[in-house]
Amino acid sequence: MTNKSELGICRPDPAAVFAAAMSLWQTCHRRAEADQHLNLSESYSGMDGLMREVMRIGNQFEAWACSHIAFEELDDVWPYLLQDRFGEVCIAVLVPTALAQFDESDCLRIAIWLKLPIRLSENLRIPIDLQAPNPVRESSFLRFRIQTVRDLLEDGDTMPFTAEDDPFDEEFGPPYFALFGVGHEGITEHIADRRTYSKAVSLAQKLAPGIAFPEAPLFRATCATPISY
């Protein structure tokens, strides 16, 4: 099937915007039909207000996706995927009466729920845990590992930041990158912390010239049940 990357689309696709907005519009109406206490017209000062919100969200999510999603890794046609799933996932993140609160943090949450391949970037809170063989012989480390961690604000304890965690948990500070050496018996030794992935890779390359960490790693959620935030 032809996907977005095969079409050479690197900018927002109107078909994807329409698919996301229509999916959200239909999901809101299904919820309203099932809940007699949910009045969409009252919540948005008329149905035209709801139309504006779903179009705004469709445009914002598509623009965000163009910057952060590895479309070449998708097996589905992008607008069809959004048409089938975007609305239900969006309403799992925000209730139908709170669409005006949708922002970039919700784009990330939705991408995680949809298990989309997300490219790591400096300001994006996605977890990684990568290992690469040490090319240097006779070293005490067989491998090096780069893992996202973050600190509890209350006591400063450092905890791994994993796929099961809320990226925006207010009990934690922002994630950063810890470099570990993995010894012959699987024992892990902490070496240093870096604020960015590229700096962690640079340090690993100084310690083990020729080590092959990916330049732009991808994250894709693998949990069977989406995490509720």
Residue 163, pLDDT above cutoff 90:
no
- Please give the Cα distance from 105 to 109 (Å, whole number): 6
* pLDDT tens-place string over residues 18-29: 999 999 999 999
What is residue 187's DSSP assignment? -
Q: What token pair was written down for 122?
A: 């400096």
pLDDT exceeds cutoff 70 at 184: yes
- Supply the pTM of this predicted model: 0.83
Q: What is the sign, positive or negative, of the torsion defined by CA atoms of 148, 92, 55, 114?
A: positive
Instruction: Determine contact, residues 74/116, Cβ cutoff 8 Å.
Output: yes
Q: Which residues of 199-228 are buried (b: 16+ CB within 10 A; e: fewer)?
A: ebbebbeebbeebebeeebebebeeeebee
For residue 226, the model assigns a pLDDT of 46
**Amino acid, res. 187:** I
Give residue 185's pLDDT. Answer: 85
pLDDT for residue 69 is more than 90 = yes
pLDDT over threshold 90, residue 111: yes
Integer angstrom CA distances of residue 15 from 18, 22, 59, 73, 117: 5, 10, 11, 19, 20
The mean per-residue pLDDT over the stretch 86-99 comes to: 95
User: Quick one: pLDDT band at residue 2, thresholds 50, 70, 90?
Assistant: low
- Which phi and psi angles does 150 have, rounded to 5°? -155, 165
Nearest to 30 by CA among 86, 82, 85, 96: 96
At 205, which amino acid appears?
A: Q
CA 175 from centre of chain: 13
Q: Is the pLDDT of residue 224 over 50?
A: no
DSSP letter assigned to residue 37: T
* Residue 82 near residue 14, CB atoms below 8 Å: no
pLDDT confidence of residue 221: 83
Average pLDDT of the chain is 91
Cβ atoms within 10 Å of 15's Cβ, excluding its own: 18
Model pLDDT, residue 101: 95
